[in-house]
């Protein structure tokens, strides 16, 4: 992966250019947030690029320290970001009409510092760090208060809470299933969920008939009852699919 700036700009464009259509925006936000839920590196890159663009400090020393820490973290995790490249290409490719040929200088400067390690860029790197550090110095407070919450800021706020909300809840098999579930339509989810739910109930009934252990049978009945109460959603589809794969 040669950089993240273009991906980030396209994700911003998708959110901002679909914001006027409530349903369209909701679907796009769900897909992008789903990708972040699947990939911690993507979530961190998205969040830190936004942080560097919007966060403000009172002194240049503070902003320099922050830039140094943020860039160090992103450099250490850039290889992991490549694992979600195909998902990003699919998300953006399906929404080309919402993407515009624009660039974000802050994103580009971050990219240069993370993805270009050439010794020939040492002087340019100093200039890039200086530019980013100065851009994070506190600007006029009154002007900043007037800014509305943009779609990408909304996504940024949500992404910052994903680790707390979902961290540790998905098993490894569920994380693998999630990758293939992100781009499914609602109609597909309903159909596939009903299929895996029926399969899970059938499997549990077979295990119950074969079980000779009261404790195991009780647990199987409890699991069957829980699955029976589930309604169609991406989260429940992932849970039931993960349960079936764990049985195999």
Digit-coded pLDDT (tens) for 14-45: 988 988 888 888 888 888 888 888 888 998 99
Q: Judge if 67 and 99 occupy the same domain.
A: yes
205 and 188 within one domain: yes
Tell me, yes or no, whether 55 and 154 share the same domain.
yes
Domain identity same for 151 and 227: no
| 162 and 176 assigned to the same domain | no
pLDDT of residue 84 exceeding 80, the answer is yes
Look up the pTM and report it. Answer: 0.62
Q: Is the pLDDT of residue 177 over 80?
A: no
Give residue 240's pLDDT.
Answer: 86
Tell me the pLDDT of the chain averaged across its residues: 82
Domain with 222, as residue range(s), is: 172-247
**Domain boundary residue among 166, 196, 224?**
166
Q: How many domains does the chain have?
A: 2
Domain match, 185 and 107 both: no
118 lies in the same domain as 209: no
pLDDT (tens digit per residue) in 102-142: 899 999 999 999 998 777 788 899 999 999 999 998 764 44
Domain boundary among 166, 189, 205: 166
pLDDT at 13 exceeding the cut of 80:
yes
Same domain, 158 and 184: no
Do 178 and 160 belong to one domain?
A: no
SS (H, E, C) the chain: CCCCHHHHHHHHHHHHHCCCCHHHHHHHHHHHHHHHHHCHHHHHHHHHHHHHHHCCECCHHHHHHHHHHHHHHHHHHHHHHHHHHHHHHHHHHCCHHHCCCCCCHHHHHHHHHHHCCCHHHHHHHHHHHHHHHHHCECCCHHHHHCCCCCHHHHHHHHHHHHHHHHCCCCCHHHHHHHHHHCCCCHHHHHHHHHHHHHHHHHHHHHHHHHCCCHHHHHHHHHHHHHHHHCCCCHHHHHHHHHHHHHHC
pLDDT digits (tens, 9 = 90+) for 43-64: 899 989 988 988 889 899 999 9
Task: Tell me what pLDDT residue 234 has.
Answer: 76
Same domain, 145 and 185: no
Tell me what pLDDT residue 4 has: 96
Domain C-terminal end among 114, 140, 166: 166
209 compared with 245, residue with greater pLDDT? 209
Q: Are 68 and 94 members of one domain?
A: yes
Same domain, 111 and 213: no
pLDDT at residue 215, rounded to an integer? 77
């Amino acid at each position: 992966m040669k950089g993240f700036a273009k991906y980030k700009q396209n994700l911003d464009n998708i959110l901002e250019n679909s914001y006027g259509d409530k349903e369209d925006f909701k679907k796009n936000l769900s897909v992008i947030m789903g990708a972040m839920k699947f990939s911690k590196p993507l979530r961190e890159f998205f969040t830190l690029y936004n942080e560097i663009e919007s966060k403000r400090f009172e002194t240049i020393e503070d902003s320099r320290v922050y830039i140094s820490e943020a860039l160090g973290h992103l450099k250490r995790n850039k290889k992991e970001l490549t694992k979600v490249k195909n998902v990003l290409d699919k998300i953006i490719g399906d929404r080309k009409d919402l993407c515009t040929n624009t660039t974000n200088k802050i994103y580009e400067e971050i990219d240069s510092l993370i993805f270009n390690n050439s010794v020939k860029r040492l002087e340019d790197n100093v200039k890039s760090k200086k530019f980013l550090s100065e851009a994070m110095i506190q600007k006029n407070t009154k002007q900043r208060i007037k800014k509305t919450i943009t779609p990408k800021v909304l996504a940024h706020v949500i992404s910052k809470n994903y680790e707390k909300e979902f961290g540790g809840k998905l098993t490894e098999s569920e994380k693998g299933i999630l990758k293939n579930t992100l781009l499914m339509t609602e109609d597909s989810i309903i159909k596939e969920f009903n299929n895996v739910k029926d399969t899970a109930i059938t499997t549990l009934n077979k295990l119950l008939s074969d079980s000779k252990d009261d404790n195991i049978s009780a647990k199987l009945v409890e699991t069957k009852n829980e699955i029976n109460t589930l309604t169609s959603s991406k989260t429940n589809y992932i849970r039931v699919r993960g349960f079936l794969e764990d049985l195999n």
